[in-house]
Amino acid sequence: LRGSRLALARLLTQVENDTLEGRAALIELFPHTGKAHLVGVTGAPGTGKSSLVNQLARFYRNPPQGVEKVKIGIVAVDPSSPFSGGAILGDRVRMRDLSGDPGVYIRSMASRGALGGIAASTAGVVQALDAAGYELILIETVGAGQDEVEIARLAHTTIVVEAPGLGDDIQAIKAGILEIADILVVNKADRPGVENTERGLKNMLQLARPTSKIAGVGKPGHEAMTASGEGNLLTQERIWSPPIIRTVATEGEGVEELADEIQRHREYMKASGAWIKREQMRLQAEMDTLLNATVVARWHAAMDTQIYQETLRRVLERQLSPREAVLKLVNGDSR
């Protein structure tokens, strides 16, 4: 709470390892949370998410006039890390860019260790950064696994990053994550095919959000805003239509426009009541995740290991199917 980076680093390690100290600290810190703007950044591999996140951080640390300079937390959830490697490498690359700035804190998370799951672990890390006074927290995930999508979905603002020329598999991923996008970014917009990518996004957006089409208010928010100068406030409050922004993150192009949209989305969320709703969704999801993990842990602790081993043996010999075995174990019937 006093701003010690060393204390924060130690806390985050405790939280990631789900130690008793980490748990106790999160309980004490909880009343200090709820201030940060949580921004999820997700997208397929190869879209340049990390560069974009770095550029956003740089922008907020050296803002143009009229934009508030805020403390930035970055939480990178690294998909490579059910096993090893990637997270540390990513850290080093980022460090070169943003290190030395006390207003930036970067944490790469391995999916690996995460006892109780990566989503729970990320929630704890974000809470700690929030309590430590980081005002805008960028949560970077790869938009492929269900875990990653869950994490991104629980941010206040979710940015989905796309890039031209990434092939068919990527198209498929897009369809899934478009439903959770608040802002769409076509990064690497200096590459050929950028118009196609943007057109594809617009089409998929209509498919993914049929409600806005049916309701007849599916006009992209950005266009509405620029067309009328200030937009239709009523429509704006009722429904958010994800704008599509072009960026070239490596050159910093489009980053200011993206920051504008993040700010605009924040204002929309606060005004519409959606901000509080997402807060509640996130807290309930976190509570339910912890609840399930705790219930399972208690059940296992109370279970007779000899009965478990004997039941497992019968499954391995194909005398019992896994489900029959489970019913026997849960009903306390060892025969």
Segment 224-263, which members bind a second copy (CB under 8 A)? none
The residue from 12, 74, 160, 177 that contacts a second copy (CB under 8 A) is: 177
Nearer to a second copy, 3 or 82 (CB): 82
**Of the candidate residues 15, 126, 173, 244, the single one contacting a second copy (CB under 8 A):** 173
> CA 198, CA 184: separation in Å to the nearest integer?
9
Contact between 307 and a second copy by CB under 8 A: the answer reads: no
Number of amino acids touching a second copy (CB under 8 A): 78
Residues 183-222 that bind a second copy (CB under 8 A): 207-208
- Tokens 């769409």 -> residue: 184
Neighbours of 203 (CB within 10 A): 10
79 binds a second copy (CB under 8 A): yes
Helix axes 118-131, 5-16, angle to 10 degrees: 160
Cβ-Cβ contacts under 8 Å for 251 (sequence gap 6 or more): 190
Q: Is 170 in the site for a second copy (CB under 8 A)?
A: yes
The single residue among 90, 133, 221, 254 that binds a second copy, judged by CB under 8 A, is 90
d(CA 57, CA 94): 11
User: What CA–CA distance (Å, rounded) separates 101 from 115?
Assistant: 31
CB 167 to a second copy: min, Å: 4
Neighbouring C-beta atoms of residue 255, cutoff 10 Å: 22
Q: How far is the CB of 9 from a second copy (least distance, A)?
A: 21
Restricted to residues 23-52, the positions that interact with a second copy (CB under 8 A) are 23, 26-27, 30-31, 33-34, 44-47, 49-50
Instruction: Give the DSSP H/E element, type plus range, for residue 319.
Output: none
Comparing CB distances to a second copy, the nearer of 4 and 294 is: 294
